[in-house]
């Protein structure tokens, strides 16, 4: 019989020891609008070979054949392709066996004495098989994406200092929480050859994988520049120049560069568009606001290079640095966490070690925003003298 060009092609594997029953099934499929390309098998060996030979759209199986039945056939089919539709078409099958077959993965069963539902059942199962495969592929893609993000998150976490350096007379700590799997915030502690300590905090616009990749560039550039012996102003100018092409004109980076000279308790800093930091005195009052010195990286800067601001810290002083994700975190009622709330939190906890203060501050921000409502990356640094 010539194929009808208007009929839908169908690759059908028929497990049937009766040739006449197979011919009847094929006739019904043709009348139902299909052009079946088929193979009939009647033993386990023939079924195994046919399954390996080519992909099939549907399997139609008699239940009882000499030395072989539909339950065994079902196991072989599902082991190779769990989404392949399997419909039992039998002359004799009890309700118990039919239920067992359905539980094992058969999609439907029909009696040979009543095949009126055959075409409808095949059409339905082809659609559902396509849906199952699509869901499975989507789930696999999601799992692969989650694994990629997990690896990216682990790599990024290794870029942060695992432990702050030990500095005589100082207790310092920092931590960063990404709003997504990866984030665009960055902090670092970098000792220099002269016994000083560079303190860095940065924030790329946005959050996620793109900003995380940019921040990895920032870290690499800054680590090289900070160990070159240049001044803070030269380091900032060079970083601005190096990152201009990477930022592409539609992103920017706020950056805080500080250097602590522990023996002299001298502190100098430059801030490129970064949120204000604070120096709190031993009694908790704000002794100094560490305001921005120049524009963020990625924004054209035509003014002369800024001059680092220098402060002399005293025993009992505490330096607090934050990215904008801390102060700008909003609650479910759209209330900002705010700088004052952050300062009050640090004042209350200032007797604790720096690491505990940072942890409690970030926990307070997350509690304020709610665990599922963190909109931006959050980073905080505390230095206690």
Residue 325 lies in a domain: yes
Task: Evaluate whether 268 touches 259 at the Cβ level (below 8 Å).
Answer: yes
Q: 100, 135, 170 — which closes off a domain?
A: 135
How confident is the model at residue 1, as a pLDDT?
47
Strand, coil or helix: what is 222?
A: helix
Please check whether residues 126 and 59 belong to one and the same domain.
yes
Q: Are residues 67 and 206 in the same domain?
A: no
Instruction: Say how many domains are in the chain.
Output: 2
227 and 361 share a domain? yes
User: Same structural domain for residues 215 and 90?
Assistant: no
- 299 and 196 in one domain? yes
pLDDT at 207: 64
Specify whether 202 is located in the same domain as 334: yes
3-state class (DSSP) for residue 139: helix
Q: Is residue 143 part of a domain?
A: no
Query: Does residue 330 belong to any structural domain of this protein?
Result: yes
Q: What is the dihedral angle through the alpha carbons of 345, 351, 357, 361, rounded to the nearest 10 degrees?
A: -10
235/239 Cα distance (integer angstroms)? 6
Residue 111 included in any domain: yes
Alpha helices in the chain (DSSP H): 19-31, 44-53, 70-80, 95-104, 118-159, 209-226, 232-247, 324-327, 339-349, 354-369
Q: Are residues 206 and 329 in the same domain?
A: yes
pLDDT per residue as tens digits for the range 274-292: 999 999 999 999 999 999 9
Whether residues 120 and 72 share a domain: the answer is: yes
Q: Given this model, what pLDDT does residue 5 score?
A: 56
For 271, the domain range is 160-384
Task: Note whether 167 and 131 are same-domain residues.
Answer: no
Looking at the structure, tell me whether residues 108 and 242 fall in a common domain: no
Q: Answer whether residue 119 is part of any domain.
A: yes
Q: Clarify whether residues 233 and 374 are in a common domain.
A: yes
Say if 103 falls within a structural domain: yes
Q: Could you tell me the CATH number of the domain that includes residue 66?
A: 3.40.50.2300
pTM of the model: 0.65
- Structural domain includes residue 149: no
Spans of the chain below 50 pLDDT? 1
Domain harbouring 274, CATH code: 3.60.40.10
Strand 86-90, strand 58-61: pairing = parallel
Residues 129 and 174 in one domain: no
In a domain, 145, yes or no: no
């Amino acid at each position: 019989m010539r194929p009808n060009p208007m009929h839908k092609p169908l690759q059908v594997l028929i497990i049937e020891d009766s040739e006449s029953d197979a011919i009847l099934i094929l006739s019904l499929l043709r009348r139902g609008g299909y052009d079946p390309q088929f193979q009939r098998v009647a033993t386990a060996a023939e079924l195994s070979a046919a399954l390996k030979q080519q992909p099939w759209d549907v399997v139609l199986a008699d239940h009882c054949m000499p030395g072989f039945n539909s339950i065994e056939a079902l196991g072989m089919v599902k082991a190779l392709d769990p989404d392949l539709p399997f419909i039992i078409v039998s002359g004799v099958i009890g309700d118990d066996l039919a239920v067992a077959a359905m539980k094992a993965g058969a999609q439907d069963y029909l009696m040979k004495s009543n095949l009126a539902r055959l075409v409808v059942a095949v059409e339905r199962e082809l659609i559902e098989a396509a849906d199952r495969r699509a869901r499975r592929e989507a789930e696999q893609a999601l799992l692969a994406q989650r694994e990629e993000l997990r690896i990216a998150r682990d790599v990024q976490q290794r870029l942060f200092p695992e432990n702050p350096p030990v500095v005589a007379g100082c207790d310092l700590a920092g931590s960063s929480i990404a709003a997504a799997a990866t984030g665009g915030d960055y902090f670092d502690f970098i000792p220099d050859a002269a016994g000083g300590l560079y303190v860095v905090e940065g924030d790329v616009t946005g959050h996620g994988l793109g900003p995380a990749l940019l921040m990895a560039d920032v870290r690499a550039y800054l680590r090289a520049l900070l160990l070159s012996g240049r001044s803070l102003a030269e380091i900032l100018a060079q970083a601005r120049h190096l990152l201009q092409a990477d930022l592409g004109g539609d992103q920017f980076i706020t950056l805080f560069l500080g250097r602590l000279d522990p023996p002299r308790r001298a502190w100098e800093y430059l801030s490129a568009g970064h949120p204000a930091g604070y120096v709190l005195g031993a009694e908790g009052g704000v002794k100094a606001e560490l305001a921005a010195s120049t524009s963020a990286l990625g924004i054209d800067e035509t003014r002369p290079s800024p001059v680092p601001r220098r402060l002399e810290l005293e025993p009992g002083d505490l330096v607090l640095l934050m990215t904008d994700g801390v102060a700008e975190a909003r609650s479910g009622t759209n209330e900002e966490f705010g700088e004052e709330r952050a300062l009050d939190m640090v004042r209350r906890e200032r007797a604790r070690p720096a690491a505990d203060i940072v942890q409690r501050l970030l926990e307070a921000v997350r509690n304020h925003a709610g665990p599922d409502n963190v909109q931006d990356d959050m980073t905080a640094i505390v230095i206690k003298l």
